[in-house]
Amino acid sequence: MGGRRWALGAAGLVLGLLAAGTISASAADPLVSRGKAATASSIEGAGFEAGKAVDGNTSSRWASAEGHDPEWLRVDLGSAHTISRVRLNWEAAYARSYRVQTSADGSAWTDVYSTAAGDGGVDDLTLSGSGRYVRVYGTARGTAWGYSLWEFEVYGVGGGTPPTTTTTTTTTTPPVPGLGYPFGSRKQPYAAGILRPSGGTSTLDAAVVDYYQRWKSAFLRHNCNSAWSQVLAADADHTYVAEAQGYGMVIVATMAGVDPDARRIFDGFVKWRNDHPSVIDSDLMASEQNDDCVSVNGSDSATDGDMDVAYGLLLADRQWGSSGTHNYKQIAIRHINAIKRSLVNPSTNLLRPGDWANSSDPRYYVTRSSDWMADHFRAFRKATGDSAWDTIRNAHQNLMTTMQQNFAPSTGLLPDFVERTNSTPRPPAGKVLEDELGDGKYWWNACRVPWRIGADAATGGDSKSLIAARKLNTWARSKFGGNPGNIRVGYQLNGTQLSSDVSAAFFAPFAVAATTDPGSQAWLDSLWNKMVQTPIGSDDYFASSIQLQVMITVTGNHWVP
């Protein structure tokens, strides 16, 4: 009971921190948008220009191109304003899912309102925000047409001075100067129709920040050398594993803006990476270290860790730039090139389990499904300009589709590993690397697949990822009767349960898959509530790290560098 009170108090504290500098709304604030310059992402045709929505005439309207998401309408107030109210008068072509956003410069946007349950008519919104620009960003149409507004009215006061009469307060995460993507800024919108858990962005963000602080306390260390950062992996085979450090780099770079120590911590991860190279390819990281922080068990690499390390470095470059202690971009490019050189099978274009799985090893044609991080491949392509990453990405997407169709047509579940990728790919019948029971089943590696596939669908809208994620979600929602408490550890590919154990590593990832299905709001909310109510165990870094990253993704805070 005391622990529960503490958790709620911490969340309240985080909300207070996020709310610092937010503005109270006044119902009496004047209309400030009429006749101002307006622009839009598209128009249906002549007579439906953006300015028609701010002209004060309820018989003229803006209309976007038909049948396309996302679309937006923006008004330039001419100077910084405190915004207290937005009134949207929808024509028949309304938005089912949309956001109201503010911006100081017209490029970096902050959500001040969002909904996935729009029903048209008039939306008269009391909210709190500030900026020169205000935008309605539609992500899912309510009809087969486009988006159309008779009037887009913004109320507030100029000069950025908060009004004194308070009626309602809504909090948002303010942008942090000097950061490329401060946590909570949501500067990269998701694909059209992607859901979020119900609730305001500040409430959702506060839950993520609270969980992040507890995750740091439980697992973040600076052992053996104060300049190092490590994620303690008490439930892994060794004290420190590459997978954990990759998670740490991605998480900390993403949480910059609410953690003032984020860059210092991240630089500690970079030093750890530099000081623990693989003995096979020194541009990759050794996968396991003992209590003395010494690499052990062959000192070679593990693909999942290296994928996240490279991705984390790209996040850091976009977050802080690369002119500090470490040139993040340069190190990232070296790491990405090493992944291509030493972890990608040149004949199949599929990832191998590690740099040790060379052509003389029987696992040369084995790949791990949880390594198929399609959004990472997109980031690697962008960072390097190397079109080989398009080929690599397509190879993994095609194998994903093949495995679902041939071995899990009713569930979409993937096995931990796939063997014989050079001929007829299949789940292994027994142990190929880690577990006699689970290597060919949906087990402790593949449990991450709904998260990885769903993240690519959400951030990039890839059709293959979207189909695969929805297949997984359809099975899970039906199998567990909409109750996340029914999810257990491990399944055969036909959906038969393997264990009675429960772990966040298995229930949390389904939340990301759920965001891809417009009909799964209640299911997503149930999964979110299950996560928020799940405590962190000091010996459960794996599940806790997965859940934290899932929470980041489903709240709209995942971005691809």
Catalytic residue set: 243, 304
At 290, give phi and psi (nearest 5°): -95, -170
Name the one residue in this structure whose structure tokens are 């990608």. Answer: 344
In angstroms, what CA-CA distances link 260 with 82, 109, 179, 264, 451? Answer: 27, 21, 11, 9, 28
Strand segments, DSSP code E, in 371-470 are: 417-418
Work out whether the CA dihedral 196, 198, 201, 202 comes out positive or negative: negative
Strand duo 148-158 + 122-141: pairing: unpaired
HSE of 519, CA atoms in CB hemisphere, 13 A: 6
Burial 508-523 (b: 16+ CB within 10 A, else e): bbbbbbbbbbeebbeb
Q: What tokens does 184 get?
A: 């909570």
Q: Which contacts (CB < 8 Å, 24+ apart) does range 260-269 have?
A: 263/316, 263/320, 263/324, 265/220, 265/229, 266/229, 266/312, 266/316, 267/229, 267/324, 267/325, 267/326, 268/222, 268/227, 268/228, 268/229, 268/230, 269/229, 269/230, 269/245, 269/312
CA atoms of 318 and 329, how far apart (whole Å): 9
Contact present, 520 and 422 (Cβ < 8 Å)? no
CB atoms inside a 10 Å sphere around CB 292? 9
Which residue has 């079109």 as its token pair? 387
Query: For residue 262, which of 183, 341, 173 has the smallest C-alpha distance?
Result: 183
Structural contact between residues 523 and 536, judged by C-beta atoms closer than 8 angstroms:
no
Residue with tokens 């759920």: 514
Do the beta carbons of residue 125 and residue 178 sit within 8 Å?
Answer: no
Which DSSP category does 344 fall into?
B
| Residue ranges in 25-75 assigned as alpha helix (H) | none
For residue 141, give the H/E element and its range.
strand 122-141
